[in-house]
Structure 1
Amino acid sequence: MTKLIPRDSDLLKRGFVMGRDLDTRFSQLLEAIAEHENTTVEMLGKTFASKEIENRRTFYPQLKQVLLEQELDIAEFKKIITNCWASGSRFDIIQFGRFTKEKDANVLIQTLIKNFPQDDAEAAARIDAFTTEAVRLGYQDKKGSPNGSAAAALCSVLLTALFPERFVDYRQSRWRDFAQKVGYDISFPATGSYGQGIVWAGQFAADLAETRTFRRTWNVENPLWAVAGIAWVLPGLKLGESNPMPDINEDDEITTLLRHKKQVILYGPPGTGKTFRANNYIKCLNTHDYEVHEDSLLDQQSFSLTIYEPRDGQIPNLTPGTRFVYDWKGRRNWQTYFDELQEGDVALAYNAVKLRRFTTVVRCTRKEADSIEFEVIQQFNGPSFEDMKNDSGLKESDIVRTKMAFGLKRLSQLELQRIIALSEGLTYESLGIELKKIRETIPNKEFVTFHPSFGYEDFIEGLRPLTTDDGTLTYRVEDGIFKTLSRRAFNVLAEMAGIEGRWNESRSIPHLDDTEKKELLKTAPEVPFYLIIDEINRGDISRIFGELITLLEADKRYCGENEITTTLPYSKEKFAIPPNLYIIGTMNTADKSISLVDAALRRRFGFIEMMPNYSVLRSLPDDKDDEIGEIVDTATDALEAINRRIAGNYDRDHQMGHSYLMKVKNAGSRDDALEMLRFAWYHEIVPLLQEYYYDAPARFNEVIGSKFIKLSPDECSFEIRERLYGDEFLMAVEALANGNREQGQAEPDE
């Protein structure tokens, strides 16, 4: 057979048609954005994604210059990357810091960019090689698992700076969503290769930048940077969405219960669509990731130094430039911070005897095994202990809770921020600290399945073993999925409400005043977070939730009328559940009846029963083949007959749901429908019934009949008969559906 190769004119025509369609769809998207932003399409070129585009215009040329130097200046390279918003979240930057400390990082970067290939396949292979090696050199998460997406993001930033006409900074979900919104004709590569994904995203961005609509709206140098800016902003928009918790929703039953109870459980027999309904509810809300922006110290550190006069000297009286020795010799507590302190780090000296306030900025100039030499940088009028104790941001902090009873302590970002705010003559600049603007993408939904071995440690927090670099086995407190999601929900809510306080890792939930809490509560419905717990009754719920079961109630949430804050047992941190976190659970009543669920849990959840819905199966489109409809009707009648018998000789909680037969309904032909029914029958329905009635053969026979099982003469055992095929199988199912006496009574073998 001769393979037809399109002529050049055919290719040009095809490209023209694709470009024209892309231009139309992109134009429609811009109109929707303009309506959302209450502006015109023409104005979008000046206002939309302007900060993201400007960030790229500012730092990518600087990055290119550093990369093209004969020898890479790692310090300057690191400084620029931390300013590139597309390089990732805070933890991505921390991984980047680990990566750049490796001596092989410089070599790896040079290997990536030197003689970079023009061929897309070769380019993708080189990107994948870089990503794999970067993971080995530092791009790993807190558990040591590879974080290839962050390594790929760094790689894409480097390539975008060097080849702005070919590549864009890359996060897979952003570019896939963007392409779907404009109906891009070239599908995302299915291989899972980061290299192919980055090449594809560059091609998509280049095609979009060539459309007439884009060129008319963004007439800029390096247009792919502008396309990337749009891709970064787009997920945060709620195009076409209404209030996330409206009065009337596509599933207003769930919405009403969540509004009043904050958590709901969908319960019923297996196969009734509980998980589907929960996921579909979230999907209908068009839930999306949020972007939060905050100033971060990243890997810069500062300390609090406690001075006891006269032993440590008259530090508040020393002039800048004066040096003094701080004696350690093991008499001070919190040795871990002494070990962390490095030469060049700054500390705020607190006079613990006479003044009981912060007075002096000092810098570590030399550290010995049992002493530290400090140089005085400046004197300032800092907060007293009473000031800090009365400050809403510091009253629950470690420095206040310990009453400054330590020699040396590393200050958290919040502690440093509040001390600066309460001081005269103290700024980040005077401390030599540069705040970095960090943008972090936070998903607003999580999915978890409970099981018998799932515990409090997985859900809230627990101790996990950790092997140190020297091989010593130790333990650390690790957050569970619910605690992590609670922190995310709080931080996004706080930013949206314009509140400074953040709930940082290894810290208690921030203390807010009444005004801030009212603002938080008012904003909560606009920033919903969702946790779906599948098979919630398969876990030991009382053990998993522990003391937090009380905090679930709406009025006991953070900012609630009867707010409760508890201290967690492992970390000793203060914990509360934010008001914008909603829980949707699913519960299979064949595993455990609702009557067996702990009363405390039942009181705190709303419940929605989901039973088999036969109308869902029978609601076929008008153009559906009549022969398919007949098979669907037969299958549905059989399911109804089986469920009537189960309810009669077992209980209603063990009926079988309609989802077992949904594939039959969706079949494209009679043969497909019959095969789908046969598959569901022998591989799902019969095995489940066999499990129900494994010790009750006679009752099993009452349900399914002699065409499918064979009773022993004494009716004490049974075996599954040889499988039926084709119309013979369909006739047996139809006989069961019609309640045929032969189907109702089995004949014991002689």
Structure 2
Amino acid sequence: MAVKTLYKTINTNGEYSCGDIGVTTDEWLDLLNDEKSMPYHEALLCFLRQKEHKATCTKVSQVYGKPAQYYNSKVYNFSKWVQKRLNRFSVKDADDKDTYWCITMQKGWDTKQGFQWQLRDELVEALRIYLMKALIDVFRNGKPFNGYYEEYKWDLLDRSVGKDVLAVFDGLRGKNIIDNPRTDSVIKYLVENEADKTRVCCQHLIDESVPLNDRLAAFKAEIKALCPSKWKNTANDERTASALLTCVYPETYTFYKDEIYKNICDYFGYTSRKAGKKYEHFMELVNGFVKSYGEEIQQIMLNEIKGFKNKPLNLAVQTLFWCMKDYMKEELKNKMTTETNNSSKETWYDDVVRTWERRKNVVLYGAPGTGKTYDVPELAVRLCDPAFMATDPSREEIVSRYNQLKTEKRIAFTTFHQSLDYEDWIEGLRPVVNENSQVTYKIVSGIFKKLCEEAERPVVKDKQVGIADNAVVWKVSLQGTGDNDVRRECMENSHIRIGWDGYGPVISDETDWSVYNGEGKQILDAYINKMKIGDIVMSCYSSQTIDAIGVVIGDYEFEDKFPNYKRVRRVNWLVKNINENIVEMNDGKTMTLGTVYRLNSITLDNVKSILEKYNTSSKMEENDKAYVMVIDELNRGNVSKVFGELITLLEADKRKGRINAESVVLPYSKKGFHIPNNVYLIATMNTADRSLGSLDYAIRRRFAFIAEKPFGLDVEGFDEELFEKVSSLFVKNFDDYKESGWDQTMKLESADTLSEEYKPEDVWIGHSYFLMQDEEGEDNTSNRLLYEIIPLLEEYVRDGVLTAEVQDVIDELYKQATE
């Protein structure tokens, strides 16, 4: 066969190409299976996993770590080998010299960052087939389901057959198909309280005459509308919707999880879509895999699922991707080196966390739109839960974990403002109305003090002990004070007993309180309703001392076998037969005659100290988990006024347990206060408002200040051209900054249009302003320009931040927005 000569040409768009070289997907796959092509696979996969499979060698180098020349050489030599192996064409340039890149790449064009190339479509498809076949082989040769228990999914499908759609929805609870910890209680509420309306919502979702994305959007809105407005989780996400659709139409749909979708996109080089459109794309991908590999994959797991009636191929494919998720992630990581593989942003995150761990307090500062508040969840989760971050979670999963940590009281959030003061931050007096309708004042802990109290709360080592993480400490009198029969019986048989037996076993609105002239009503309410399993009880021996400490392990019971004091709660005694004076830790107060009441001044840390004294400390240990105080807009408040005398305590070496530990006596409670060593502060500041100088040096020297600079985003909807155009008004060396991979440590040079009084990083409009698509994918370029970017630029001109020379650019932007 004669060798055909192809020529690399350039079109009017500046794109270089030699056209179709006539190599089919099957031929590319045959080439990839040749052992001689193996040395080139890594470079090809790196290009495959770039957006639209196009990149410069410099960009690939920044992502995967090896020198740009490495990738250049690999693609060049692979192309040369393909030409020789096929021996049916050669490619020449305009000077009639041999050229090779056009063989692997369908087109290329010159950019400021270097020459950018795009993989041929047929090669992209061949690489995906090659990856999938290898994945199936690994799955086939491993344990059934790779060691996971997956049969429950087929069981759920069989159990759903013939059920009403509401029953199917209710049947998702506890099945590990959805985000059960967040959605089970929501589904239970909807089924029990809004059954008819929820059924209609579910029927709308399974109406196949309506496009899928429209149904998903409607389901999200309708379910949310049925839930109480204060609820954050409303069981209306794509994962929950997919589960319902799958149980109703198992041959058409399959179960969805964002982690699996992201894995597939990253591994095979697909561009992921936005929330609300992910599931549709996921099903497109799964159906494609079903068509090519569904039968083969199902045969591998047939022994495990042969007992089930429903055996949809799409579920077999979904299960393979779930079972192989860790393998796929590891393969992706293996394409990167250990230190240089991370993008500049990843390295920045690591650097910030290391600084934060050392200094305890950091401030993220920068111009509007640079991502200061956006970065806080990831930084906080990296600090609080590094094991979770090791799983390479998605942004959605990180934010979900961040919110979970808030629920666990390990993260607290506040925004500083002018009216915020010391009493909101540490402690203050708050008016309360007592049972006699009289106004009294109560000492209430502020947001930061509450976080410190949580951070200081000891951790229960032995979970069998039964102490709750949020345990309350109660005083209980066992037949009064001193030694007595009831006390001895309670100690021997591990419970506590109180009286008022004449009210009967059940206390309710029907109780006749006249029996004891109303006495004991509040005590019984505390004992029966407010005292919880896991709380601590201290047995009162005298007005000043206790003789035992226990953990409540049983609900209220009324036992007639006792002649009196028949109201019983089971207790696990941690220590007995002691004589411990608790007046000092009880804020100098002796115990009163009340049989049961809460000891508000005594903390779990106090309990731990008593247990240590009597050699039972192994049941509890110090809390070393990280707790985070997030302060948005730090410079909006009167910081010195808010922190007051606690400024000194912020320093790392002044924390509790450190060599120079300090504490202060609080003005209202008169109690000593210190900041635990496991409390970390992170604040944000907008430098464009020029308020950074308002922080006095006493504050500034106790925080590490970390700049947030704008950088380009490789995401759908980011207008790179517009970002570069506006950025050039602030930064002279923008091209160098971009070429560096947006190195956050790089020194920026001021553009000629920027006033000498300002640094670029303090006022340069951030990258988030140039995200031009909303969550529904609608283009918002015109609105963003008219109402956000142009007004900010004009304000900069009025304030002297930018010179008048930028008006021509502003006029161009206005024209672009209104055309």
- TM-score, normalised on structure 2? 0.44
